[in-house]
């Protein structure tokens, strides 16, 4: 495959994968298990999910390491296995990618407030992220992918960690925007974009978040502020609602594909899905860009 940054620069859309957690639950992961710890004993279901996305047309897949930082893992007594978990996740993803997709090392939030709201300092956050970014980088990812951030400082800590890990590794980063087109912590799309651009993030944007309509507004704001930027959009498959005793996300594959085209017209270069999206959603997005 051509180098990731070269491909990104070509302007051709890179289709990314969809949800992992919900797919693993469907494959039998017990209630309450963290995907990272379950994967240690059950690598096959994780490989199968990755493969399903690659077969659907995803050219970029995220490792199963969203909660793979020390702060989150220690809640399950796995703090000493950060390196092992991240390495195994990269191996699994690499095997499934089979030279057809880029492997992105996934980095999620710490699940704790940084100072002044919480007790963790910025420097501590950088160290915790760095342990994970280093493990992912050394295991051979094609890029680092920071996602679902709400706090600008925490995002900055994660980017800082990625930069300290390697000056060469490409970095993508996305924040999660909720009501009023702000993150839970009140960050505006333009503010997030400005910061990520100034820190040298290669592609940035929005993931998860409230609704597809709102994601469209967020993307429009980022695009209007930085016309040349390569944007990343990985939204939920709409909003969840109850159907009987199960949760159903209301966006159909066709809905997702329609929005994907709108995002592409606004500078999005990496497009996939987050909560509630399935290989069918990703296949529809891939089809839209064939």
Partner 1 sequence: MMSDILKQLHAAVIAGEREQANQLAAQALEAGIAPLTAIEEALSPGMQVVGERYESGEYFIPDLMMSAEAMKGAMAVFEPALMKRKEQRRVFGTVVIGTVEGDIHEIGKSLVATMLSAGGFEVHDLGVDVPVQKFIEKVREVDANVVGLSALLTTTMRNQETVIQTLKEAGLRQQVKVIIGGAPTSQGWAETIGADAYAENANEAVSVVKELLGVK
Neighbour count for residue 3 (Cβ, 10 Å): 11
Please, what is the minimum distance in Å from the beta carbon of residue 240 to partner 1?
Answer: 5
Which residue, 43 or 240, is less far from partner 1 as judged by CB?
Answer: 240
Which residue, 23 or 143, is less far from partner 1 as judged by CB?
Answer: 23
Neighbour count for residue 182 (Cβ, 10 Å): 17
Please, what is the minimum distance in Å from the beta carbon of residue 170 to partner 1?
Answer: 30
Strand spans (E) along 161-226: 171-175, 203-208
* 3-class secondary-structure state, position 115: coil
Q: Say if residue 43 is exposed, middle or buried (CB neighbours under 10 Å; 0-12, 13-18, 19+).
A: middle
Residues that bind partner 1 (CB under 8 A): 21-22, 25, 31-34, 72, 75-76, 111-113, 117, 150, 179-180, 182-186, 240-242, 245, 247
| Backbone region of residue 180 per phi and psi (left: phi > 0; alpha: psi in -120 to 50; beta: other values) | left
| Phi, psi at 145, each rounded to 5° | -130, 105
Q: Which two tokens stand for residue 188?
A: 């505006």
Which residue, 97 or 237, is less far from partner 1 as judged by CB?
Answer: 237
Which residue, 95 or 180, is less far from partner 1 as judged by CB?
Answer: 180
Please, what is the minimum distance in Å from the beta carbon of residue 75 to partner 1?
Answer: 5
* Residues in contact with 45: Cβ distance below 8 Å, sequence separation at least 6, in sequence order: 24, 27, 28, 29
Please, what is the minimum distance in Å from the beta carbon of residue 134 to partner 1?
Answer: 24
Which residue, 15 or 149, is less far from partner 1 as judged by CB?
Answer: 149
Please, what is the minimum distance in Å from the beta carbon of residue 284 to partner 1?
Answer: 22
Which residue, 28 or 140, is less far from partner 1 as judged by CB?
Answer: 28
Please, what is the minimum distance in Å from the beta carbon of residue 198 to partner 1?
Answer: 22
Sign of the CA dihedral running 5, 70, 85, 63: negative
What's the full length of the chain, in residues? 290
């Amino acid at each position: 495959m051509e180098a990731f940054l070269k491909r990104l620069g070509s302007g051709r859309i890179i289709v990314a994968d969809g949800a992992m957690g919900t797919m693993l639950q469907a494959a039998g992961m017990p209630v309450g298990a963290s995907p990272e710890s379950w994967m240690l004993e059950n690598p096959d279901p994780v490989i199968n999910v990755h493969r399903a996305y690659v077969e659907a047309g995803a050219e970029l897949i995220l490792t199963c390491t969203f909660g793979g930082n020390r702060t989150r893992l220690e809640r399950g007594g796995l703090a000493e296995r950060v390196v092992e978990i991240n390495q195994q996740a990269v191996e699994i993803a690499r095997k499934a990618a089979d030279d057809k997709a880029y492997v992105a090392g996934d980095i999620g939030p710490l699940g704790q407030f940084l100072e002044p709201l919480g007790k963790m300092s910025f420097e501590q956050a950088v160290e915790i992220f760095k342990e994970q970014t280093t493990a992912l980088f050394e295991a051979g990812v094609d890029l680092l992918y920071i996602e679902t951030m709400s706090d600008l400082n925490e995002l900055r800590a994660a980017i800082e960690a990625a930069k300290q890990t390697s000056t060469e590794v490409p970095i993508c980063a996305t924040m999660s925007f909720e009501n009023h087109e702000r993150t839970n912590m009140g960050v505006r799309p333009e503010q997030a974009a400005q910061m990520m651009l100034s820190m040298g993030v290669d592609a940035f944007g929005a993931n998860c978040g409230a609704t597809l309509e709102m994601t469209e507004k967020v993307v429009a704001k980022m695009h209007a502020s930085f016309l040349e930027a390569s944007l990343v959009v990985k939204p939920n498959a709409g909003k969840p609602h109850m159907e009987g005793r199960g949760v159903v996300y209301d966006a159909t594959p066709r809905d997702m594909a329609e929005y994907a085209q709108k995002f592409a017209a606004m500078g999005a270069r990496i497009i996939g899905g987050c909560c509630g999206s399935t290989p069918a959603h990703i296949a529809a997005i891939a089809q839209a860009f064939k």
